[in-house]
Amino acid sequence: MPGFEKFSDLERKEVNDVLETGVLMRYGFDGMRNNIFKAKDLENEIQNRFKVKHAQLVSSGTAAVSVAMALSGVGVGDEVIMPTFTFVASFEAILMLGATPVLVDIDNTLTLCPKAVEKAITPKTKAIMPVHMCGSMANLDALKSICKTHNLKLIEDACQAIGGTYNGKALGTIGDAGCFSFDYVKTVTCGEGGTVITNNDDYAVKADLYQDHGHDHVGNDRGAETHPYLGYNFRISELNAAIGLAQFKRLDEFLDLQEKHYTILRQELNSINAIEFRTVPNGGVESYAFLNFFLPTLEIARKVSADFKSEGIDVCFHYYDNSWHYVRKWEHLKEAKSLYPLPESVKQGLSNISKQDFSQSDHFIGRNISCLIKIGWTEEEVKLRALKMTEIINRHI
Ligand SMILES: *Cc1c(COP(=O)(O)O)cnc(C)c1O
C-alpha cells in the first residue's frame, strides 16, 4: 500500500516547482506563484480519474471525514452509524462535530453489516458511514437502499481502498460524499493530506469554504472575501499537494503492483482448505491494498499471528488484539476521556458502547488476519513470503 515506497524524481520535481516560487499556500500570491497551483491540479486529476464532479483537498483523511459530515449537516444530537472495525479517525471525525458515533457490527465483508445497520437506526440517525477497510467494500446497494428508505446520508470512508470499484464506479463516488486519506502510509501519499469527493454541487461549494475559514473564494482579494458560513482550517499546503500530484499520476502503476502481489499470495494460500478469504460483495473489485482471510478459530489466529511476527512475516495484523482498529481496545472512547466537556447526547451514546454485544464482530475479527500488500516488494520476495506464510498456517491447523 504505501506509495512512499516508490518515491522518485517525479515527486522531487513537483515539490521543486513549489520551492522555486516559494508560495506554499494554495490561495493568493498570484504575482509570485508563476501560475503554479499544485492543489488545484491534484483536484483536477482526482476528478478526472474517478469521474466525479468535485474533489476538495484537505489536510488529512480525518479532516475529509469531518468535512463530509459537516456538508451532510451532521451535528449535536445526531447519530452516525459506523462499524466496530475501522481506524479511530471514524469516531474522531464524528465527535468533532458534536455528533454521536453509533457502533455497529461488521460481517464477513469486514465492513458494515446491513442487517445490523437497520437495527441501529433511530429517529436521531442522520448518516451511515461504511468504511472500506483493507481495500474492500460493504454491500453498498443494501446500504444505499436503507439510506433511501430512512432518508439518511451515505458517507464513504474509502481511505484504505483508493482504486477499488463497485458496479464499475470508483469507491468514494457511490454515496453522497466519499473520503480518501493521503497520509504517509496510504497507497497515494502527500505526507499528510486527504480529499472529499462528491457529485453534489451544493456540497462542493460548502466544502470549498468550510475547509478555509468560510472564505467564499470569489474575486482575487482574499481580505475582501465574504464568509457565507462558519468554517475552519483544514487546508492542504502546496508542498503536500505537490507530492500527492506526482503520486496520484502513478496510481495505476501502484494498483497494478498491489494486484500482482496480492494475487501471488492468494494463489499460494488458496491451497489451505481451512482458510476462508473475506467476502467481496457482488459487483465489487478490491483495491488489493490488503489480503484478508479468516482462520478457523481465535486461538489459531493468535498462534499464526505470533509466528508470523517472530519469523519475519511483517505487516500482517491480527486486529482483535490491536488497539487501533477494533472496538475491543477503544477504552478512551468507551470512557469518554475527552479533554473538554462533551454534549450530554454524546456522553450518553458513548456510555452505551460497553453494554453492546459485539459477538458478531468478534466472530470475524477474532479469526481475521489482514496482510498489507507492499508495492516495494520484489516478485521473488512475495513468492518466498507466500511459501513461508503457508508453512506457518499449516503448522497450526
Ligand atoms: C488513514 C485512515 C483515515 C484517516 O486518515 P488520516 O489522513 O491519517 O487522518 C481514516 N479512515 C481510515 C479507514 C483510514 O485508514
Task: Give the pLDDT confidence score for residue 336 in this predicted structure.
Answer: 98
pLDDT tens column, 189-243: 999 999 999 999 999 999 999 999 999 999 989 999 999 999 999 999 999 999 9
Do 266 and 226 share a structural domain? no
- How far apart are alpha carbons 71 and 63 in whole angstroms? 12
Is the Cβ atom of 62 under 6 angstroms away from ligand 1? yes
| Enzyme catalytic residues | 186
Is the Cβ atom of 61 under 6 angstroms away from ligand 1? yes
Q: Is 85 helix (H, G, I), strand (E, B) or coil?
A: strand
Do 63 and 127 share a structural domain? yes
Task: Give the pLDDT confidence score for residue 322 in this predicted structure.
Answer: 81
* Residues 354-360: contacts with CB under 8 Å, at least 24 apart: 356/103, 358/84, 358/103, 358/105, 358/327, 358/328, 360/105, 360/106, 360/107, 360/113, 360/116
Is the Cβ atom of 87 under 6 angstroms away from ligand 1? yes
Do 297 and 232 share a structural domain? no
Give burial (CB, 10 Å; 0-12/13-18/19+) of 321. middle
CATH number for the domain including 9? 3.40.640.10
Do 275 and 245 share a structural domain? no
Q: For residue 277, report the distance from its CA to the centre of ligand 1, in Å.
A: 24
The average confidence (pLDDT) of the chain is: 97
Task: Give the pLDDT confidence score for residue 323 in this predicted structure.
Answer: 77
Number of domains present in the structure of the chain: 2
Task: Give the pLDDT confidence score for residue 330 in this predicted structure.
Answer: 97
Do 316 and 246 share a structural domain? no
Do 227 and 314 share a structural domain? no
Does the model's pTM come out above 0.85?
A: yes
Task: Give the pLDDT confidence score for residue 220 in this predicted structure.
Answer: 87
- Domain with 350, as residue range(s), is 253-396
**pLDDT beneath 70, residues of the chain:** none
Do 165 and 40 share a structural domain? yes
Q: Which of 234, 250, 266 is the last residue of a domain?
A: 250
